[in-house]
Amino acid sequence: TQLLEQSPQFLSIQEGENLTVYCNSSSVFSSLQWYRQEPGEGPVLLVTVVTGGEVKKLKRLTFQFGDARKDSSLHITAAQPGDTGLYLCAGTGSSNTGKLIFGQGTTLQVKP
């Protein structure tokens, strides 16, 4: 069974600080996606990483896929209150059906 462990589960920081969220597994994933979910809404895709060692940037967000494609990280530089939300990592399962396996999520609170 493929599992994804996210850490930390909760993070409360001051505006302007940097943070990193980790997503780890003992399994290899063909791709890994990061989503953001607002209360009462469905997850919204931020980025997909496919190649081991790949790094993608989205403004102040940097996403990295581990060389072995078993782990990923999300780094936010100079966090802002608008970054507050639930961040989810999800890996594409070993079957070729598009099934996603989600981590348990990281709730981020950025205080002004």
Partner 1 sequence: EPEVTQTPSHQVTQMGQEVILRCVPISNHLYFYWYRQILGQKVEFLVSFYNNEISEKSEIFDDQFSVERPDGSNFTLKIRSTKLEDSAMYFCASSAELPSGELFFGEGSRLTVL
* Interface residue list for partner 1 (CB under 8 A): 30-31, 33, 40-45, 48, 50, 88, 90, 92-93, 95-105
- Cβ closest to partner 1, residue 65 vs residue 83: 65
Distance of CA 76 to the CA centre of its chain: 11
- In DSSP notation, 42-79 reads --EEEEEE-STT-EEEETTEEEEE-TTSSEEEEEESS-
Integer Cα distance of 112 and 101 in angstroms: 33
- Cβ closest to partner 1, residue 96 vs residue 112: 96
- Cβ closest to partner 1, residue 79 vs residue 103: 103
To partner 1, the closest distance from the beta carbon of 78 in angstroms equals 27
